[in-house]
Amino acid sequence: MKRVLPPHLPLTGYYADESARHRWLRRAFDETASDYDRIERITAFGTGPAYRRRALARAGLAPGMDVIDVGMGTGLTAIAAVSLTGDARRVTGVDPSAGMLANAKVPEELPVIAGRAEALPLADGSADFISMGFALRHVSDVNVVFAEFRRVLRSGGRVCLLEIARPQSRAGAWMLKQYMRRIVPTIARVFGGTAGVTDLWRYFWDSIEACLPPAQVLAALCDAGFVDVHRDVELGIFNAYVGRRSD
């Protein structure tokens, strides 16, 4: 059995220990879901849809594929997947947050399932492509999640994980931290209407800062049995981890 590989150590400023992490995240996402899209649109300057579509296309998503969007949230990455596949019925969203799923703005015919990345409620070999948009930091065990991805994918199936990583330069990391930990939570407080929205958006930076470095994410994908593993980077911040199931 592989060792447990959390995406980061417990962030005890938000929850006491790893056993409390899942409860804290579930409550935070449930309570702030109605604000999520509005704040994301403002803080990403409206560039999110184009980036998601571009990253998924570059990873090989094409018409005719069956797609699982894990950690679907309000459906931002799932919508990008639909724009590439051309058929919402072939894209399935999975998320553990009832609040996020209730606020998802996806086509009515797109299947939505409550579930966790660590135990996907899907059959073996049921997908050609798995996407995960900025949610890897919120799982409990990266190794378990990647094993689940491999199980659900068909032979030759692809995975594309979108994440934000700290810039390599000290100046870039400092500027991103100021934006993500100070300016973004302020925007969330001004434009959000739900309790806890400021804490959640501040947590996003803290989890980015503490997250596994890209080399470890790529190594974990290789260890899980993926090949052609690589990372596409935009602006030194936006990372798309890509791999293919070989058999």
CA atoms within 13 A on the CB side of 59: 37
C-alpha pair distances (Å), 210 with each of 63, 168, 206: 36, 14, 6
Rounded average pLDDT per 10-residue block, the chain, 247 residues? 90 92 95 96 96 98 98 98 98 98 97 98 98 97 98 98 94 94 95 91 96 97 98 96 94
Q: What is the pTM of this model?
A: 0.96
Indicate the CATH number for domain 47-165+212-245. Answer: 3.40.50.150
> Residue ranges per domain, the chain?
47-165+212-245, 170-204
pLDDT of residue 195: 82
